[in-house]
Amino acid sequence: MNRLAVLRSPALVSALAEEIRRTATRPWTIMEVCGGQTHAIARYGLEELLPDGLELVHGPGCPVCVTSAATVDRAARLAALPGVVLATFGDMVRVPGSEGDLFLARARGAAVRVVASPLDAVRMAAEDPSQTVVFFGVGFETTAPAVALAVRQAAELGLSNFAVLVALVRVPPALEAILSGPGNRVRAFLAAGHVCTVMGLEEYAPIAARHRVPIVATGFEPVDILAGVLAALRQLEAGEARVENAYARAVGQRGNAAARSLVLEVFEPCDRDWRGIGLLRGGGFRLRGPYRAFDAEERFDLPAEAPRESGECIAGLVLQGIKKPHECPAFGVRCTPDRPLGAPMVSNEGACAAYYRYGRTHV
């Protein structure tokens, strides 16, 4: 049996679910941070295997979803400038801003190109010096090394026609914000395994200690997720609160040393506005020192305008684990992947998209 088959084994899933039922003696709320985990939970119906009182809520682990409307607006304005091409990942094209999305901006004549990698944007700039290529740098710590590599490569090539609209965000400040929120119900976290693969586990220990919450690094397959739930549950039942690694095949204590070093060479932490959550201290990355020359916001004089959000969308409550997608009156009716009111309905890692795709309307 190959590894993927093991991680999706019905026998192992049933055994873990039974052990979870035996272990749980009281109600608990556990948040899975990553949108990839949310999609796996919805796809395999994992919540339905849990005992009454043990609830999984969905966190802000979707960088597309937490990119502010103001940032999307800036991207659209950049793409509309003469001689500028905006390069972006495909899942950003349908994310709503104040006046539509990048797909609509392209229909109106803006130069928006979908790329698979930040290095594709560097190549575009190198091949055509007559245009300025701006890469829309959206992502968590997982994406930051690739964006950092692109910036460093552009610097080495001396590409003055390359820039980055930086919208990178950091996960630990978001966990702090959720735990400090007045409506918080979260008693433990399943940390995003891919983020921990890059950055390691060290940043989470102070959060676990300060807020008395278990934080368990977890993978993305059914066995991974239920093993993470069980590890968090055992800590909760024992009154413990520490960082635990349930994804040891990919995550080390210090993460990926080369990737971390590259990120910290090119970027430094900064405050960042998270859509639906607000301004988070240290919640993002910005270009550091000599690399600031590639900052699109500094290079282009863009007017600051107050963004407009849908008054009906409850994405902020969903991203904080306060509400589930199906609790939104617009879900599946006035908000669909074809006509989204908020980013979680169109992102590949959005909780609303997961519920819509897999027909989860009541869990």
* pLDDT of amino acid 363: 44
Q: 305 pLDDT band (50/70/90 cuts)?
A: low
CB atoms within 10 A of CB 68: 22
* pLDDT of amino acid 315: 85
* pLDDT of amino acid 310: 67
Report DSSP letters for 137-183, one per residue: EEE-TTTHHHHHHHHHHHHHHT-TTEEEEEEEB-HHHHHHHHHHSTT
Q: 1 pLDDT band (50/70/90 cuts)?
A: low
Average pLDDT over residues 152-162: 97
Where residue 208 falls (left for φ over 0; alpha for ψ -120 to 50; beta otherwise) is alpha
Gyration radius (Cα) of the chain, Å: 21
High-pLDDT (> 70) share of the chain, %: 96
Q: pTM (2 decimals)?
A: 0.92
pLDDT in tens, 116-128: 999 999 999 999 9
Does residue 337 contact residue 19 with C-beta atoms inside 8 Å?
Answer: no
pLDDT of residue 37 exceeding 70, the answer is yes
pLDDT of residue 160 exceeding 70, the answer is yes
Q: Among residues 91, 43, 21, which one has the least CA distance to residue 63?
A: 91
* pLDDT of amino acid 84: 97
pLDDT of residue 144 exceeding 80, the answer is yes
Average pLDDT over residues 32-38: 93
High-pLDDT (> 90) share of the chain, %: 77
Does residue 310 contact residue 101 with C-beta atoms inside 8 Å?
Answer: no
pLDDT-wise least confident of 4-8, 251-255, 287-291: 4-8
CB atoms within 10 A of CB 104: 16
* pLDDT of amino acid 361: 63
Domains of the chain (ranges, CATH numbers):
68-168+256-299 (3.40.50.11740)
pLDDT of residue 265 exceeding 70, the answer is yes
pLDDT in tens, 4-30: 889 999 999 999 999 999 999 999 999
pLDDT of residue 75 exceeding 80, the answer is yes
* pLDDT of amino acid 309: 67
pLDDT in tens, 217-241: 999 999 999 999 999 999 999 999 9
Q: Among residues 302, 313, 348, which one has the least CA distance to residue 139?
A: 348
Specify the 3-state DSSP secondary structure of 84.
strand
pLDDT of residue 302 exceeding 90, the answer is no
* pLDDT of amino acid 255: 93
pLDDT in tens, 165-213: 999 999 999 999 999 988 799 999 999 999 999 999 999 999 999 999 9
* pLDDT of amino acid 321: 87
Report DSSP letters for 194-233, one per residue: HHHHHH-SGGGHHHHHHHT--EEEE-SSHHHHHHHHHHHH
pLDDT of residue 97 exceeding 50, the answer is yes
* pLDDT of amino acid 4: 86
pLDDT of residue 273 exceeding 70, the answer is yes
Q: What is the mean pLDDT of the chain?
A: 93
Whole-angstrom distance, CA of residue 187 vs CA of residue 316: 19
